[in-house]
Amino acid sequence: MKLRNPDNIKIYLENEVFDIEKTDKVSLEIKQDKGLKLTLRASNQKVEYLRLRWNEKIREGVKILGDAWERGYGDLEWRGICPDRSMPWYFMISNGSDLNMDYSDRLTEGFGVEVGCNSLAYWQLDASGVTLWLDIRNGSLPTILTGELECATIYFEEYREMSAFSALKEFCKVMSPNPYLADHVVYGSNNWYYAYGKSSHNEIIEDSKIVKELCKENENIPYMVIDDGWQPHPCDAPWNIGNERFPDMKGLAEEMKKIGVKPGIWVRYLINGRDDEPRKVDTFPEEYYLERCNKVLDPSHPEVLKYVEEATKRIVDWGYQLIKHDFSTFDIFGRWGFEISDRMANEKWGFYDRTKTSAQIIKNFYKVIKDSSNGAVIIGCNVIGHLCAGLHQLNRTGDDTSGFEWGRTVKMGVNTLAFRVGQNNAFFGADADCVGITGAISWELNRKWLKVLSKSSSALFVSCKPGVLNEEELEELREAFKVASVQKDEFIPLDWMETVVPQKYLINGKVEEFEWLPYGK
């Protein structure tokens, strides 16, 4: 399908729906260059959605790939046409199979919106055409629009005589013309998948020594990331001091640097009290909290953004060179990505600032983190990938893997690696999550996940419990770190159009197969 103006555009205002050309309450400007740039104008109107429709018969014998709202949850896949399927941000249509490797008759089409748009966008496809919904609400209430809103830039692209995977990689570059990438390869260790929050200053020092020894021959210095468990309350604020096991966060970062690793740290900016517990830092006025939940800070409030800025600067001043920020999509919307079909916000609530869309508010929250990080690497985890692109250097593209459940690692890790590695170095550096080494999963299984991750040219992080691996296994880990520290491999999933858990990959021109089953430990 060639890029053209939609056949029909509807605007949804509060309690009203109009064909865009039949109302004088709003106006929509469409400018076509490489994409269609949509600018909505209004004076004090309560706007909710734009619905755009292109009527055109869809060719037969094709499969469809959609993306996800935030992380993948083992649910990314190529499917046939399903009219009520909501596909966030972009989708691909392709014929044939990448297993064939004869692409002479291949046609793959990409339909998407540019990253960093000011709406929450999702697509639907039926046999007679394409529909795009742009959610321009404020939470689940209308946005009060006075002036103009650049809603989105839309792209339709065709790719011939190439694999569907290559087409996806090219289309991701189209949607993300100005990525914000780290100036070095990011890799190393994260303590979560063997410690699970039970760690200490001394244990992080030992972890740092281990990862340094494993990477001592690498020119690129590895990261050692301290995950949840360093702050006074598990998975909760405040972020200005460590707990009794972490008495000196600045001193810890200094020791880690002396060992020869780059210090990284985890934070959950917006939480201030778990659902089953009272607030831990009850110093904020009620207006700082979301209308939806009185324990989550509202990222549209200027004082909350100042608090986020101060927390980020403090962490960087301590000496941490990587910040992994987590839970923000769940905290804002109260739902995980797999619980969202079309609309991210359902129950009636809005942000403190009613004049901006949810997408604008979330992007500004990400930008405050970036602008106050002094160049530190930012990894988003449970963030919205299409909105953090251009603002975060890395993004966790899938839900958690595991140090204890092999089936979870396969479902979450292998699926997201195959189906979202096309975003790597186009949107951001992709992070398909860790190799969790605790002894509960056999090395025979874990080495497979380690190998595909290290060869994928995406970020490799390993959680390795000290003393679990023997010398031969440590040598394999050392080699994986060496490969991941430079990321020069060519990595292509081949059977991803046939299965949600691809087994066959083209790695540096050679077909390699990985048997992921059985899912037992």
**DSSP letters of 389-453?**
BTTBSEEE-B----SS-HHHIIIIIIHHHHHHGGGBTTTBEEE---EEESSSS-HHHHHHHHHHH
pLDDT, position 517: 83
For residue 18, the one-letter residue type is F
Position 282 pLDDT exceeds 80? no
Position 347 pLDDT exceeds 90? no
The helix or strand, by DSSP H or E, that contains position 79, with its residue range, turns out to be strand 78-79
Q: How confident is the model at residue 280 (pLDDT cuts 50, 70, 90)?
A: low
Q: What is the mean pLDDT of residues 260-264?
A: 98
3-state secondary structure of 466: coil
Q: For 425-462, how does the pLDDT look when each residue is reduced to its tens digit (9 = 90+)?
A: 999 999 999 999 999 999 999 999 999 999 999 999 99
Q: What is the sign, positive or negative, of the torsion defined by CA atoms of 397, 401, 406, 407?
A: negative
Position 257 pLDDT exceeds 90? yes
What Rg do the C-alpha atoms of the chain give, in angstroms?
23
The overall average pLDDT reported for the chain is 96
Other Cβ atoms within 10 Å of 107 Cβ, number = 18
Q: What is the mean pLDDT of residues 405-413?
A: 97
State the Cα–Cα distance between residues 448 and 445, nearest whole angstrom.
6
Q: What is the mean pLDDT of residues 177-199?
A: 97
Position 495 pLDDT exceeds 50? yes
Q: For 209-230, how does the pLDDT look when each residue is reduced to its tens digit (9 = 90+)?
A: 999 999 999 999 999 999 999 9
Task: Say if CB 38 and CB 154 are below 8 A apart.
Answer: yes
pLDDT, position 440: 96
Q: For 3-37, how does the pLDDT look when each residue is reduced to its tens digit (9 = 90+)?
A: 999 999 999 999 999 999 999 999 999 999 999 99
143-160 and 107-113 strand pairing:
antiparallel
pLDDT, position 521: 42
The secondary structure of 316-343 as a DSSP string is HHHT-SEEEEE-HHHHHHSS-GGG-SS-
Q: How confident is the model at residue 276 (pLDDT cuts 50, 70, 90)?
A: low
pLDDT, position 49: 98
State the Cα–Cα distance between residues 175 and 152, nearest whole angstrom.
11
Give percent of the chain above pLDDT 90.
95
Report all structural domains of the chain as residue ranges with CATH numbers, in order of start: 8-175 (no CATH), 187-489 (3.20.20.70)
Q: What is the mean pLDDT of residues 83-109?
A: 96
pLDDT, position 278: 72
pLDDT, position 519: 63
Q: For 154-169, how does the pLDDT look when each residue is reduced to its tens digit (9 = 90+)?
A: 999 999 999 999 999 9
State the Cα–Cα distance between residues 262 and 188, nearest whole angstrom.
9
Per-residue DSSP letter, 286:
G
State the Cα–Cα distance between residues 299 and 364, nearest whole angstrom.
8
pTM of the model: 0.97
Residue with tokens 């290559």: 166
Task: Say if CB 448 and CB 441 are below 8 A apart.
Answer: no
Sheet strands side by side (includes 429-431) = 429-431, 394-396, 377-381, 322-326, 262-267, 223-226, 187-190, 460-464, 435-437
For residue 162, the one-letter residue type is M
